[in-house]
Amino acid sequence: MAVAARAPARGLSAAEAARRLAEHGPNEVTADRRVPLWARVGAQLRDPLITVLLAAVALTLAIGDHPDAVVIALVIVVNTAVGVVQEVRAENAVAALSRLSAPAARVLRDGGQRKVPSAGIVPGDVVALAEGDIVPADARLVEAAALLLDESMLTGESVPVARRAGAGAAGDDTVLAGTVVLRGRALAVVTATGADSALGRIATLLRPRPEPTPLQRRLAGLGRVLAAVAVGLCAVVFVLGLLRHQPPGEMGVTAISLAVAAVPESLPAVVTLALALGARRMAARHAVVRRLPAVETLGSVSVLATDKTGTLTEGRMVVERLWTPHATAVVTGAGYGPAGGIGLHGRPADPYGGAADFDGSAGAEVRSLLTAAALCNDAALRPPTEGDGQWAALGDPTEAALLTAADKAGLDHVRLREACPRAAEAPFDSLRKRMTTVHRSADGKLLACLKGAPEAVLDPAVLAEPPELLDRARNAAAALAAEGYRVLALADRRLDHLPEPPEEAEHGLRLLGLAALADPPKPAAAATLAACRRAGVLPVLVTGDHPATARALAVRVGLLEASAGPEAVVSGEAQAQVGDLTRVRVFARTDPRQKLDIVQAWRTRGAVTAMTGDGVNDGPALRQADIGVAMGRRGTEVARQAADLVLADDELATVVTAVAEGRRVYDNIRRFLVYGLAGGAAEILVMLAGPLFGLALPLRAGQILWINLLTHGLTGVATGAEPLSASAMERPPRPPGQHILGAGVWQRVLLLGLVVAASALGAALRSHGSGRPWQSVLFIALLAAQLGVVLGLRERLVTRANPFLPVAVLASAALGAAALYVPFLRDVLDTVPLSWGDLAAPAVAGLVGFAAARLRKRGI
């Protein structure tokens, strides 16, 4: 619902926001209507193999073969029910993932800024926007600075548009849901949410259909090939039966049943469920998959391009050193809390906060430096809340660290900002590498404050300082960066008038000094990178930091040897001169275009790349990579929406966990294929070879379908939950072009099919020679051999990780026995009870199938 724009000084209260949420509903487009049950059932019945089974039911009824008609109908009902259940479970899993990766926004409530889910925004909320944010709802600007928006997703225009508060032209002060903030910052009052927003009105016209994953498409093609082969072989069985003077109707039903049993028709549903459940398992480990195909792709990642801040490092920046033209200082304390102090010229810092001795010119220089750092700053500090004993940063961690340092120097950054309100600004962007703000001081004068990368600030075009001082500052910055610090240069200038545009203030400034910030590596960073290398995943560091800073970190986490020279790190400017980017392991000072070049270089070599990022400038590379990985806590909304995987805990180790889960899913799908296709091949071989040994009609149609139901149903689905192989993360990633049956899988299918068929036929021929009920023996031996295979394919025979598989095998065995000893099933399936002696040969067949699968269990 639309409302007029007003900007309450404190924003809405929590109670008022809750009332409006109940009144207007959540800020989300109305969800697509759920597919009704009858439509799901109809979709299952339209499957080509199920259609063939329906024709078989009609044929058996026409010839009066009611027992087989009952069995075929039962198979149809069970397969349809399993397919519908799996489809619903997969849909629910994906919906849950969508909720986990829902965007968030910053709003002003009860006088403070807080982050809330985008769905919780209501008309009247005051939303804070900054570079990289996606506008969560239609809103009217009440405050804006250098605001530039990408509205291409709504208008189709690729040229960014500027928006400003209080603009006279209609729409110039309006921001629309779904557009992206490219530059600047703003406060805006929400005017329309959900379906009433511009994005919502468009989205309600769309009903996108889910696309199959690449793996599903490959498997569907495989299924068509297998179906064609199976139908051809079953036609041979049919013709051979006619030549042996078997009834045409019976042979037709048998051939149809064999074709259905030979192809694992439940494979697409099993794959969808395996991918969805794999994604749910990743979510439980803080890796939220935004697109289901990413689960499959993760298993073949071979290059991991990681950023530095917050990924390899703590992401909690702390100012540790200060340099001014006439002083140096050491800052103590950890995190964003005020505990700690500042010591000048090596003098001890006050452990209770504040400067040790700030009298004199040296102290004045440090105060001026930190005053500019606090004013040229968009961050905020949040005091500890109940259940959380730590101060937190709202905004950029680097800026928050500067605020903390200012407070330690005795400068109250909140009062300082109130005393010197901001009048204009040139926001930071990744190309200029600096930020400038203009403030009105208490005496009515204007003060310009600038901070940025040393190479962007220590420039005669920016600073009115003698060359000797600039050289000293550059040497100091290089020395600090070589120690692993992130270095910022700060400057200020008194102004007579408000510059227009604000960038006009970026010349003739006075150098205040340097701030050196540390972001130590996470304790697990080195171990995580080592785990990547063991798994055949090559880690590459891509950062915007200074080359010396990047090198120092790379050495600490084991990406580079300590003896590596300066040439081991390539800066963005030097990238163009590097012939082969894939030979470099550390990139520094990279811009968005250069990150794209790095990703593309690896992809050209055939590597499957994963790229981590958190900023708006990372968006293009995240989309270009095979797997884009965004940070969930500190990442911008642009990065999260561009990514395939969102790390809810911002831990690089979670990427390794996700890669392992991808390999697990792929291995389990291949395990199911080996099991299902080997069983189907064995059934065809039995039907082809049986008559050659005097077994006129080895199996009836109902018996074939009953075996198919027990093997492809219960046990087939249970294989998708098998745990990760112990060797999965010790082997190289699979080549992206490798066929699903590649790496020896199809040979193994044939081998196991031959073993299962031979063991089952052997059991039947033994009974046939002694005048025993050989067909029932063959039926149960074929089932036992396949169940033996599925147990033998397990990586670990005894494990608590997947109790469903042994339970499914026992249930299938029990239902197989029921076909022999339950009168109703015995009549329907045309079987006879077997004695303990008769069951010995099927038991041996089961053991043979188990042993054959164990011999090469690592071939999956």
Confidence at residue 63, expressed as pLDDT on a 0 to 100 scale: 58
Choose among 397, 388, 431: nearest CA to 311: 397
Is residue 696 a contact partner of residue 774, using CB atoms and an 8 Å limit? Answer: no
Q: CA dist 117 to 114, 120, 600, 647, Å?
A: 10, 5, 34, 17
Choose among 212, 487, 454, 190: nearest CA to 322: 487
What is the number of other CB atoms lying within 10 angstroms of the CB of residue 688?
Answer: 17
Confidence at residue 848, expressed as pLDDT on a 0 to 100 scale: 95
What is the number of other CB atoms lying within 10 angstroms of the CB of residue 91?
Answer: 16
pLDDT tens across 120-154, in order?
899 999 998 887 788 888 999 988 887 888 776 66
What is the number of other CB atoms lying within 10 angstroms of the CB of residue 293?
Answer: 19
Task: Mention the CATH class of domain 318-518.
Answer: alpha beta
Q: Which helix (H) or strand (E) holds 539?
A: strand 538-542
Between CA 106 and CA 102 the distance in angstroms is 14
Confidence at residue 858, expressed as pLDDT on a 0 to 100 scale: 53
Arithmetic mean of pLDDT over the chain: 81
Q: Give me the active site residues, please.
A: 307
Q: Are strands 486-495 and 538-542 parallel, antiparallel or unpaired?
A: unpaired
1-54+64-210 and 318-518 share one fold: no
Between CA 711 and CA 718 the distance in angstroms is 10
Between CA 595 and CA 592 the distance in angstroms is 5
pLDDT tens across 490-533, in order?
999 999 888 888 889 999 999 999 999 987 788 889 999 999 99
Q: Cα 104–110–113 angle (5° rounding)?
A: 40
Sign of CA dihedral 408, 412, 413, 414: positive
Confidence at residue 681, expressed as pLDDT on a 0 to 100 scale: 87
Between CA 68 and CA 62 the distance in angstroms is 12
Choose among 491, 465, 486, 464: nearest CA to 373: 491
Between CA 847 and CA 754 the distance in angstroms is 15
Helix, strand, coil distribution of the chain in percent, nearest 5: 50, 15, 35
CATH level 3 topology of 299-312+522-650: Rossmann fold (3.40.50)
Structure token pair of residue 366: 């440090």
Tell me the domain boundaries of the chain: 1-54+64-210, 212-283+658-859, 299-312+522-650, 318-518
How large is the angle between the packed helices 774-792 and 804-821, nearest 10 degrees?
180
Q: Are strands 446-452 and 174-175 parallel, antiparallel or unpaired?
A: unpaired
Residue 567 DSSP code: G
What is the number of other CB atoms lying within 10 angstroms of the CB of residue 561?
Answer: 10
Is residue 330 a contact partner of residue 563, using CB atoms and an 8 Å limit? Answer: no
Q: The domain 1-54+64-210: what is its CATH number? A: 2.70.150.10
Confidence at residue 333, expressed as pLDDT on a 0 to 100 scale: 83
SS (HEC) of 621-682: HHHHCCEEEEECCCCCHHHHHHCCEEECCCCHHHHHHHHHHHHHHHHHHHHHHHHHHHHHHH
Choose among 368, 373, 372, 437: nearest CA to 399: 373
Between CA 290 and CA 643 the distance in angstroms is 7
Residue 730 DSSP code: G
Specify the residue for token string 């917050």.
310
Residues 6+ apart with CB under 8 A from 586: 540, 541, 550, 551, 554, 559, 560, 568, 569, 570
- Phi, then psi, of 635 in degrees rounded to 5: -75, 155
Between CA 623 and CA 609 the distance in angstroms is 11
Between CA 579 and CA 602 the distance in angstroms is 13
Q: Which residues are bridge partners to 8 per DSSP? A: none
SS (HEC) of 218-263: HHHHHHHHHHHHHHHHHHHHHHHHHHCCCCHHHHHHHHHHHHHHHC
Tell me which residues of the chain have a pLDDT lower than 50.
1-7, 31, 97, 100, 205-210, 349-356, 859
Confidence at residue 651, expressed as pLDDT on a 0 to 100 scale: 86
The CA R_g of the chain, rounded to the nearest whole Å, is: 34
Residues 6+ apart with CB under 8 A from 271: 213, 215, 216, 219, 669
What is the number of other CB atoms lying within 10 angstroms of the CB of residue 2?
Answer: 12
Q: The domain 212-283+658-859: what is its CATH number? A: 1.20.1110.10
| DSSP helix/strand/coil, 446 | strand
Length of the chain equals: 860
Q: Which residues are bridge partners to 511 per DSSP? A: 491
Q: CA dist 688 to 49, 279, 684, 775, 776, Å?
A: 21, 42, 6, 15, 18
Sign of CA dihedral 812, 817, 822, 825: positive
Structure token pair of residue 15: 């109670």
Choose among 97, 147, 105, 151: nearest CA to 126: 105
Residue 712 DSSP code: I
Peptide linkage before 499 cis (omega within 30 of 0): no
Choose among 270, 399, 318, 389: nearest CA to 740: 270
Is residue 850 a contact partner of residue 843, using CB atoms and an 8 Å limit? Answer: no
Q: Report the amino acid identity of residue 492.
A: D
What's the whole-model pTM score? 0.68
Specify the residue for token string 């804006």.
144
SS (HEC) of 388-428: ECCCEEECCHHHHHHHHHHHHCCCCHHHHHHHCCEEEEECC
Choose among 774, 779, 761, 771: nearest CA to 815: 779
Between CA 278 and CA 721 the distance in angstroms is 9
Specify the residue for token string 């040393």.
454
Is residue 536 a contact partner of residue 732, using CB atoms and an 8 Å limit? Answer: yes
Confidence at residue 474, expressed as pLDDT on a 0 to 100 scale: 95
Residue 520 DSSP code: P
- Phi, then psi, of 645 in degrees rounded to 5: -135, 130
Confidence at residue 743, expressed as pLDDT on a 0 to 100 scale: 77
Between CA 672 and CA 223 the distance in angstroms is 13
Between CA 621 and CA 337 the distance in angstroms is 35
